[in-house]
DNA sequence: AATAATTAGTTAGAAGGGCTAATTGTTAGA
DNA sequence: TCTAACAATTAGCCCTTCTAACTAATTATT
């Protein structure tokens, strides 16, 4: 049976927001610490790319520089990230995750993954394979990057 | 090859936020009108369930009553929804979508679907089928409802 | 009928998310 | 040098979502 792009689009549009709400809810419910999804994503990126600049983070998150600046502000305010000046190019920041930021990030990740894993446990193994394949295909068309999972080491 | 729930969870956790950001971005970029995702979802629900109460909307969206109240406030302020009193139970609201609300909702939906459709067009047909199947499986485990797509008539 | 408990919805206040436009400093180039 | 480009921030806007505390209306209890 052939699936036209219109139908797949409708399915994605209906299901993705539902799952996203779950993810957000789980991630924000860990307390303390409380991490929002963008905060988690920023921490995770800087954790893997120590010394990243603000624009690096903005590009990775798909946010504008001002939004990212505010986001980083909040993380620094909570002691989860640091902002350093670089002697090489004083315009460019050097962001880094603190120990506490690293721990909070890991906690948020594990909590969310545990929840999702639990949800995915009681289903047909074939369905799980379909989901994994679908996610890889979606990742490719939405990011252009065929690699997935590298953020997980 | 077997896909353990942990792996599928990681894939979902990585990809869903990316797609969601795209959806949000596209939906908010139509101007005028500008509808956010929660605004769209509230309109869409009330459009299909005229006379719904605030709690009906809150439950459907997975939001608290105060959040929903504020959300509805905004929609009414923009002339997209109406709030009526019911003589039967004067505590219970009767929400309805205005003509303009209906039109804006359709416009937001079509714009977003057009974008997603476009993205999904240039891919292997087999991948599209995998995506459609994955979305149906995910919909079932996250909502308990096997039916999908009814919202699209 | 009077009182208590529940239910529907709102208000207030907080922290965050995301944008555009305008600004400050810094570096590189003609 | 002087200008253009760049990195980041500030200001100001509106939306999201929560908890806590509240009002008003209904139902249940005595």
- Which domains does chain A show, CATH number per domain? 5-119 (1.10.10.10)
Residue A126 pLDDT exceeds 60: yes
Name the residue among B73, B75, B71, B76 with its Cα closest to residue B58: B71
What distance in Å separates the CA atoms of residue A135 and residue B11, rounded to the nearest whole number?
A: 6
What distance in Å separates the CA atoms of residue A119 and residue A100, rounded to the nearest whole number?
A: 29
Residue B95 pLDDT exceeds 50: yes
- Cβ neighbour number for residue A30 with a 10 Å cutoff: 17
Q: On chain D, which bases lie within 7 A of the protein's CB atoms?
A: 6-12, 14-21, 24-27
Q: On chain C, which bases lie within 7 A of the protein's CB atoms?
A: 7-13, 15-22, 25-28
Question: How many Å apart are A71 CA and C23 C1'?
Answer: 20
- CB-facing half-sphere around the CA of A43: CA atoms within 13 A: 27
CB atoms A137 and B123 under 8 Å: yes
CB atoms B138 and A62 under 8 Å: no
pLDDT value for A152:
40
Q: What mean pLDDT do residues B123-135 have?
A: 95
B12-58, pLDDT tens digit by residue? 999 999 999 999 989 887 766 679 999 999 999 999 999 999 999 99
Phi, psi of A36 (to 5 degrees): -80, 170
Q: What mean pLDDT do residues A72-79 have?
A: 96
What distance in Å separates the CA atoms of residue B16 and residue A23, rounded to the nearest whole number?
A: 9
Residue A31 pLDDT exceeds 80: no
């Amino acid at each position: 049976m052939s699936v036209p792009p219109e139908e797949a689009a409708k399915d994605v549009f209906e299901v993705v927001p539902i799952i996203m709400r779950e993810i957000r809810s789980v991630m924000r419910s860990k307390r303390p610490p409380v991490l929002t999804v963008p905060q988690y994503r920023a921490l995770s990126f800087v954790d893997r790319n120590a010394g990243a600049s603000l624009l690096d983070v903005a590009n990775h998150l798909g946010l504008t520089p001002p939004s990212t600046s505010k986001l980083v502000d909040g993380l620094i305010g909570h002691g989860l990230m640091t902002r350093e000046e670089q002697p090489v190019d004083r315009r460019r920041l050097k962001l880094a995750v603190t120990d506490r930021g690293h721990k909070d990030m890991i906690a948020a990740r594990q909590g969310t993954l545990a929840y999702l894993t639990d949800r995915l446990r009681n289903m047909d193994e074939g369905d799980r394979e379909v989901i994994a394949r679908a996610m890889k295909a979606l990742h490719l068309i939405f990011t252009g990057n065929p690699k997935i999972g590298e953020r997980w080491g």
